[in-house]
Structure 1
C-alpha cells in the first residue's frame, strides 16, 4: 500500500521540480532577452552605437537605432512609437548631450540597463580648431551658438564625436561589451570574445591612420562640421571648422575671411563637407579660395551616399580623402 503511494508521489515531485526548472529557465530568458525570439533587445541612439551592439552582440542581440539612416542625429525628434520601443528594450545605448530628445526619452524609459557612452571614455572640449590649445576662440563661438540653437553638447562645450578616434571608440566598445555581458550573463563569454576581436580591428585601424598620416605636405584641413577634433588630435593634424560642433550652424563673415587666410598660409587644397548636411557653405568657401571639395564623413549614419557600407569602410575612405587633401608623401 505504501509502495503504491510512493510511486505517484515521486512522480509528482519530479514533475514539480521539472516545472520549476522550466519556469526558472523561461524567466532567465525573459530577463536576458526580452524579445519573443529570446534575443537581447538593444536600442541605440544612433549608428556608431548600433554598430557596436551588432559587432559585439552578434546573433544574441536584436540591435536597432532611434536615428534612421539619412537623419542628422543632432536634430532627431523622438516619436511616441520610438518612446514605447525604448521602454520595452533590455538595453539602451546612447551618448548623453548629443541628442537632447534622446536624453529626455531615456530618462523617462525606466529601462534597467542604460549605457551612456560618454562615461566610458574621456570627453574633451574642441572648438573650430582640432586641438584644445588652439581652439579657445572657436569654443567661445560654439558656446554662444549653443545657447541659441537648442543643442547642448555637454559640459564646457565638450565634443561628443569620440567614435571618430579609433582608440576612444575601442574604449567605448569595451564598456558596451561589459554591459551586454552583465545584462545577459548566459552569453557573456561570447560578448567578451567579440569585444576583443572588435578592439583588435580598431587598434589596426589606429595603426593605419598613424602610418597613413605620418608624412604629409600639410597638417591642416578645413571641414564644414567640426566633428574631427579627436581624430585631429590623435594624429597630429589641425582641424579648422567652418561651423561649430553642430553642422547646421552658420559661420560669420569674419570666420570665412579667417579661413581664407588659413588656407593660403597652411597650403590647404580641399574643403571637406559631409553627406548628411548641406555642402553649400563648403562650396562657397572653395569657390572664393580656388580650393577643391571632398567628403569627410563623421559617420553619424550610413546611407547609399556613404563612401562605404559600415564604420570601418567609411573610416578608410576618410583616411584616403585626408591623404589626398593633405598631400601624402
Structure 2
C-alpha cells in the first residue's frame, strides 16, 4: 500500500467535522438532490465490490452512494470533505478494511452505527507473490513455501485488515457469498421493515455466486498448466479455490516495482510451467506486463480484479466480468 496517499489523522478529523457539520445543517437535502431517494436506506459503499452487494441485496429499498467512482484506482482514492461528510450522514456504510487507507480512517472518524467491514464477514488469509496450490504440497507445506520464497518481497506491505492479510476476498465467489450473507443481515438489522426482501435478495445473490463457483470449478478442473502471471497478486483466493498457481509481477501492492530477480524468476517459471499468457488489468499500468510478455514470447490478456466497472470492462457487472475472467483463464491455461 502506498503510504504516501494516507491522509494525516489531524487533517482528516478536521475534514470529517466540517463535512458532517455542513451536511447536518441541511439533513435530507441529499435525498432531494438525488430525486426520489427519500425514505430509502442511505448506503455508502467504499468501492465497486461493496456497491454491487448493496445494490443486489438492497434493491429498491436502498440509495447507494459509492466513494470510488468508475475509472478511479481504489487504492489511490483521496476523499474530499463532501465525501467524508456523506459518511456521517449514511444509514449504513459498507467497506473492506485494508484496501483504501483514506477510507478506513474516515470511517473510523464518522461514527456511523451500522458500519460493516466485509473483512470481518469471512476469513482472511496471507497470500504471497506466488499463491495457489503447488503440486504435491499440503496446505501447510505450501504456506511455508510461499512465506519463505517471498518474504522479502512482501516486507513492508500492509494491504489487509491484519498485517500481511490479503483483502481481495471478492474474487473468490465462495468468500464473496459469505460476505453477501453478512451484508444482508446488516441491512435487515438497519431496516427491519424490509427484512424479508433483503433476505430474499441475499438468497438470490448467493445462488448466483454458487452457480459461478460451480462454473469456475468445472471450467478449470482440467488444464494444460496451473500457472498464470498477473500484474499484481489480486487473485490469491481465486487461485487457492481452484487449485491454481498465481504469479504476481508486483506482489499484492499494485504500485510496487518488481526486482530484476523477480522478473528473471518469472521468465524461468514461464518456461518451466508452460505459461502462455501474462495478464494485466484495466485500472493499472500494463507496461511491465507487456514488457515481460514481449521478452518471454508470451501473449497478453485482461484478468480483471473487479475493483471498478468502466467502459473498458468486459461486462456490465460482477457476474459478467467474472465469467469473462473464467473464459480468459480457460484460454490461457489450456482448459480441456
Residue correspondences, number: 295
- Once residues 72 and 121 of structure 2 are traced to their aligned partners in structure 1, the CA distance between those partners, rounded to angstroms, is 25
Separation in structure 2 between the aligned mates of residue 177 and residue 87 of structure 1, nearest angstrom: 21
Provide structure 1 residue ranges, at least 5 long, that are not aligned to the other structure. Answer: 1-29
Q: Which runs of 5+ in 2 are unaligned?
A: 1-26, 133-141
Q: How does 1:55-94 map to 2 (within 5 A)?
A: 55-94=56-95
Provide the TM-score with structure 1 as the length reference.
0.87
Aligned equivalent of 1:136, options 147, 159, 172: 147
1:319 and 2:330 correspond: no
In structure 1, distance between residues paired with 2:244 and 2:201: 32
Does the CA contact (< 8 Å) of 2:277 and 2:293 recur in 1? yes
Match of 2:192 among 185, 188, 197: 185
- Give the whole-Å Cα distance in 1 for the aligned partners of 2:65 and 2:149: 35
Contact 2:128 2:154 in 1 (8 A): no
The verdict on how the C-alpha distance between 1:278 and 1:90 changes in structure 2, with shifts beyond 3 A counting, is same
Greater CA deviation, 196-205 or 151-160?
151-160
- Residues 129 and 154 in structure 2, CA contact (< 8 A), matched pair in contact too: no
Tell whether the 8 Å contact from 1:142 to 1:157 is kept in structure 2 after alignment.
Answer: no
Residue 229 of structure 1 deviates from its aligned partner by: 0.3
Separation (CA, whole Å) in 2 of partners of 1:145 and 1:77 = 21
Structure 1 runs of 4+ aligned residues shifted over 4 Å read none
Aligned-partner SS, 2:189: helix
Superposition CA RMSD, Å: 1.8
Higher Cα Rg: structure 1 or 2?
A: 1
1:11 maps to which residue? none
Could you say what secondary structure the match of 1:156 adopts?
A: coil
Aligned to 2:258: 251
Other-structure match for 1:49: 50
SS at match of 1:82: helix
Residue 200, structure 1, aligned to residue 207, structure 2: yes
Are 1:227 and 2:234 an aligned pair? yes
CA contact (8 A) 2:159 2:167 kept: no
